[in-house]
Amino acid sequence: MANDYLKDKCGVFGIFGHKDAARLTYLGLYALQHRGQESAGIVTSDGRLVREHKGMGLVSEVFNEEEISSLTGNIAIGHTRYSTTGSSNIKNAQPFLVETLAGHIAVAHNGNLVNALTLRRKLEKEGAIFQSSMDSEIAIHAIAHSKKKDFKERIKDGISQLEGAFSMALLVEDGIIAVRDKRGFRPLSLGKLDGAYVIASETCAFDLIHAEFIRDIEPGEILFITDKGLKSDRISDKKTRCSFCVFEYIYFSRPDSSIYGHNVHLTRKRQGRELAKEAPCKADLVIAIPDSGSSAAIGYSEQSGIPLDMGMVRNHYIGRTFIQPAQHIRDLSVRVKLNPVKDVVKGKKIVVIEDSIVRGTTSKARIRTLREAGAKEIHMRVSCPPHISPCYYGIDFPTKEELIGSSHTVEEVRRFIGLDSLAYLSLEGLYKAMPLPKNKFCVSCFTGKYHVLPEHGIGKFNLENQLSFLNKI
């Protein structure tokens, strides 16, 4: 159950004013599956009645024809939630739906609140009874406890109390609301389809349903979407510095998405080009660790002139029910996901392009399989700097101690993974590859400098642990 609050990296989707709202949300969630595989859910409204269906697992496992058909109404929001070890719990599946005095309200959240505990304690003192350990539930109670008269004002007032990273879709009985925190840590976009408005974490969800991209929800914007159209308001003034998550470009978002206004694949290709300039390599072949290293590998190959080939193949059909093999055959589990193409790598000097090294353990196992496949020399180039600090804004990184880059030199990491050479892209090189000026980004995982500190300090952020600790004293 630990660490739910550290790992709320998710996909959100919403649609207002379409007769096939649930079905389109289901399809949108398919496109956002990479943002979360633990659970999926949809809540719909026909303006009066609200319906929900949630479950553990992939979108394809959670919904069937019957369930989709029962989700009636022309308003819907949906959510895919990221898988975390030990926290597979239906209580934490989203959207989170409650009935308040003013009617039903549901929330689908991507991000991490940094003032969750303080806010929760305050709300509990005011009588709120929490059902889950999700920070999304805090948002709902903050709205329900607002003293403002008008429902929209209450929503705005409740959301304004949240601090940290949140891109949210909310459903009320007669509309949906899209809101993004004032620093804009996580992406959220607005689109249109057959006169209906659509919101999604990433634009790849629009492509799938043939929706047209209109614009991003702005940092600090709250957008009410009802049958009166769009009403944009703000939860904060516009002066706050942007903190777009750079890791969305590096690893998390899909390459066919445009986030913060720019395509992910082309950005990663530029990272690969910068990497080739900074860290050239004498090799016969460039190979990618698929899928997240593929775009940077193309850029590295184009810039260096070293041919690109497919040295590893990914199995996409593992799912969450994959049974871990017993200890003595555990080594084989890495091949379930990625298998080298022996005839490509055998006898070759290869430069492997990886998007990031986090713990270093997966890379070590993958490199061993490439050695076993007969690669003569293996050089690794990583398309971002070493990760030295955890993320408090919604990306699933382990603690500082577990991040190999926080305590090991590049040479030590090279030896641990078993490489002939290793180099990372510098922070300056990363900035050069980015489509926006450097002051727009959050790079705290590479620098340890945070734009907004978690309420209980660095390294003490886990809300569930905080709650159980406080409950004991």
Smaller CB separation from ligand AMP, 136 or 363: 363
Smaller CB separation from ligand AMP, 13 or 251: 251
Cis bond leading into 95, ω under 30°? yes
Per DSSP, 187 falls in state -
Q: At its nearest, how many Å lie between ligand AMP and the CB of residue 411?
A: 17
Per DSSP, 308 falls in state B
Return the residues of window 66-125 that contact ligand AMP according to CB under 6 A.
none
Q: Give the Cα separation of 422 and 437 in Å (integer).
A: 28
Return the residues of window 286-305 that contact ligand AMP according to CB under 6 A.
289, 292
Smaller CB separation from ligand AMP, 190 or 250: 250
**Between the CA of residue 263 and those of 142, 166, 314, what are the distances in Å?**
35, 22, 23
Count residues binding ligand AMP (CB under 6 A): 16
If binding is defined by CB under 6 A, does position 188 make contact with ligand AMP? no
If binding is defined by CB under 6 A, does position 363 make contact with ligand AMP? yes
Per DSSP, 34 falls in state G
Stretch that binds ligand AMP, among 64-72, 163-171, 390-398, 422-430 (CB under 6 A): 390-398
Q: Give the Cα separation of 128 and 3 in Å (integer).
A: 23
If binding is defined by CB under 6 A, does position 360 make contact with ligand AMP? yes
User: Of 48, 159, 21, which is closest to residue 103 (Cα–Cα)?
Assistant: 48
The H or E element spanning position 312 is strand 312-314
Stretch that binds ligand AMP, among 154-162, 305-313, 323-331, 353-361 (CB under 6 A): 353-361
Give the number of other Cβ atoms within 10 Å of residue 46's Cβ. 15
Q: At its nearest, how many Å lie between ligand AMP and the CB of residue 338?
A: 9
Stretch that binds ligand AMP, among 43-51, 348-356, 407-415, 465-473 (CB under 6 A): 348-356
**Beta strand 349-354 pairing with 441-442:** unpaired
Which residues carry out catalysis? 10
Q: At its nearest, how many Å lie between ligand AMP and the CB of residue 387?
A: 8
Smaller CB separation from ligand AMP, 244 or 251: 251
* Interface residue with ligand AMP, options 362, 399, 421, 465 (CB under 6 A): 362
**Sequence-ordered list of residues with C-beta below 8 angstroms from that of 202, at least 6 positions apart, any chain:** 11, 31, 32, 35, 187, 189, 253, 254, 257, 259
Instruction: State whether the Cα torsion 167-172-177-179 is positive or negative.
Output: negative
* Interface residue with ligand AMP, options 151, 355, 383, 425 (CB under 6 A): 355
Stretch that binds ligand AMP, among 88-96, 164-172, 306-314, 360-368 (CB under 6 A): 360-368
Q: Give the Cα separation of 87 and 56 in Å (integer).
A: 11
* Interface residue with ligand AMP, options 144, 395, 442, 445 (CB under 6 A): 395
Q: At its nearest, how many Å lie between ligand AMP and the CB of residue 198?
A: 27
Q: In what order do the strands lie in the sheet with 285-288?
A: 285-288, 349-354, 377-382, 421-424
Q: At its nearest, how many Å lie between ligand AMP and the CB of residue 264?
A: 14
* Interface residue with ligand AMP, options 170, 357, 370, 434 (CB under 6 A): 357
The H or E element spanning position 429 is helix 427-433
**Sequence-ordered list of residues with C-beta below 8 angstroms from that of 135, at least 6 positions apart, any chain:** 5, 8, 109, 112, 113, 116, 463
Return the residues of window 251-270 that contact ligand AMP according to CB under 6 A.
251
Per DSSP, 457 falls in state -
Q: At its nearest, how many Å lie between ligand AMP and the CB of residue 366?
A: 7
User: Of 436, 454, 434, which is closest to residue 444 (Cα–Cα)?
Assistant: 454
* Interface residue with ligand AMP, options 356, 369, 383, 466 (CB under 6 A): 356
Smaller CB separation from ligand AMP, 88 or 362: 362
**Beta strand 189-193 pairing with 212-216:** antiparallel
Q: At its nearest, how many Å lie between ligand AMP and the CB of residue 256?
A: 17
If binding is defined by CB under 6 A, does position 333 make contact with ligand AMP? no
If binding is defined by CB under 6 A, does position 359 make contact with ligand AMP? yes
| Torsion angles phi and psi, residue 284, rounded to 5 | -85, -30
Q: At its nearest, how many Å lie between ligand AMP and the CB of residue 34?
A: 10
Instruction: Catalog residues that contact ligand AMP under the rule CB under 6 A.
Output: 251, 289, 292, 354-363, 395-397
